[in-house]
Amino acid sequence: MNLPLIEKFPALRNQWLIACQTDKLRKMPVSQMVMGVPIVLFRDALGHPRALLDRCPHRSIPLSKGKIQKGHIECPYHGWQFDGRGICQHIPGLLKKDAILPYSVSSFPVLEQDGFIWVKLTQDQSGEPLLPYRLPLLNDRGYRFFVWEVEVKADLLNAVENFLDGTHTHFIHPGLIRSNHKRSLVNAIIRANKEGVEVEYTEERRQSGLIASLFERSRSKSYGRFKLPSTAQLEYCSKNGTTTLITVFLTPENGTRLKAYIVTAYQKTFLPGWLSHFLIKPFFYLALKQDLQILRMQSDNITLFQDEDFHSTELDLIRIPVRQLLSQNLHPDQVDKMVQLSL
């Protein structure tokens, strides 16, 4: 299968990507574009998730517009039915039953993990079957979780950079995350290997913005991480361990649009779950909206100028190693270094 995005980000080949949230996939089929490929998801007769190319081989109707009949997906136009392997099992009105088998649709490996349905667009022929990244803290009763699913107008590299970059926060989230007139010196240690890159921030005082003042008592250090193929993560720690962990799973839909599944875990307080969600979510959501807006602006201007020749300084810690990882070309001089910055 020809996947143009793989040429730009070869590290995405043969990787699990989220196609939807588990509880979105019930009785109706779900359509989702993954890496430029239209996919239809549905559950078979045993309730297992299945993923097929969203195109009926008869007259090219999206199968996702059809319905599920006894675990098979039925095309809405002439009623052809396909099983979870993509094999045509029924053509209404056709009397020669053995003639239907050759009409199949491509199917994709699919699995369910940590509340998401994951698909892989190519069959992994080699070695151990890799599983998707496991969400940390999921079974830890000391944390509460909430999940957001949003459309992002950006390419993968720009979205990852935005999420992990602290230097825009004074301007895009002024007062909410940091303030430009209240900076402090921070040490950043950057570590990279072929699976990802991690930036550890030490000597950092609590962030100057409202979110940290309201919800964070103290901070000993924090981390920004990128994990292949497309996961970005922020972790804030006090001396007693992780206080907040935000993990963003990104699924490129095409070259300029992503689906982001954002899982926020935060330490339980004495407040009931509904009340702490009610208090925390609006602040996080405002920050998210501000990021989505600047990413949209950036994407539109990249399209307008047809130019992604960017200029960076040593403050732009994350872009170069992430770009190198996505193109499977991590340079040794990106592996371990330390930078001091004023955040």
Binding footprint of ligand FES on the chain (CB under 6 A): 56, 58-59, 61, 75, 77-80
DSSP assignment, residue 309?
-
DSSP assignment, residue 91?
-
Return the one option of Fe ion, ligand FES, none that residue 255 interacts with (CB less than 5 to 8 A, by type): none
Return the one option of Fe ion, ligand FES, none that residue 291 interacts with (CB less than 5 to 8 A, by type): Fe ion
* Least distance from ligand FES to the Cβ atom of residue 63, Å: 7
Our CB check for ligand FES shows the closer of 79 and 115 to be 79
* Least distance from ligand FES to the Cβ atom of residue 104, Å: 13
* Least distance from ligand FES to the Cβ atom of residue 110, Å: 22
* C-alpha–C-alpha distance, residues 230 and 120, integer Å: 13
Return the one option of ligand FES, Fe ion, none that residue 61 interacts with (CB less than 5 to 8 A, by type): ligand FES
User: Is the Cα dihedral 162, 164, 167, 169 positive or negative?
Assistant: positive
Our CB check for ligand FES shows the closer of 71 and 115 to be 71
Our CB check for ligand FES shows the closer of 59 and 85 to be 59
Give how far Cα 35 sits from Cα of 2, 154, 164, 262, 335, Å: 10, 13, 22, 19, 28
Tell me if 308 sits within 8 A of 302, measured CB to CB.
Answer: yes
Return the one option of ligand FES, Fe ion, none that residue 58 interacts with (CB less than 5 to 8 A, by type): ligand FES
Chain centroid, CA 234 distance in Å: 13
Return the one option of ligand FES, Fe ion, none that residue 118 interacts with (CB less than 5 to 8 A, by type): none
* Least distance from Fe ion to the Cβ atom of residue 25, Å: 30
* Least distance from ligand FES to the Cβ atom of residue 91, Å: 8
Phi-psi region at 241: left, alpha or beta (left = phi > 0; alpha = psi -120 to 50): left
* Least distance from Fe ion to the Cβ atom of residue 161, Å: 10
- 94-97, long-range: CB within 8 Å, 24+ apart, which pairs? none
Our CB check for ligand FES shows the closer of 82 and 249 to be 82
Could you list the residues that contact Fe ion (CB under 5 A)?
291
Our CB check for ligand FES shows the closer of 82 and 133 to be 82
User: What are the backbone angles phi and psi of residue 26, rounded to the nearest 5°?
Assistant: -120, -115
Tell me if 259 sits within 8 A of 154, measured CB to CB.
Answer: no
Return the one option of ligand FES, Fe ion, none that residue 75 interacts with (CB less than 5 to 8 A, by type): ligand FES
Return the one option of ligand FES, Fe ion, none that residue 227 interacts with (CB less than 5 to 8 A, by type): none
Tell me if 213 sits within 8 A of 234, measured CB to CB.
Answer: no
Our CB check for Fe ion shows the closer of 74 and 291 to be 291
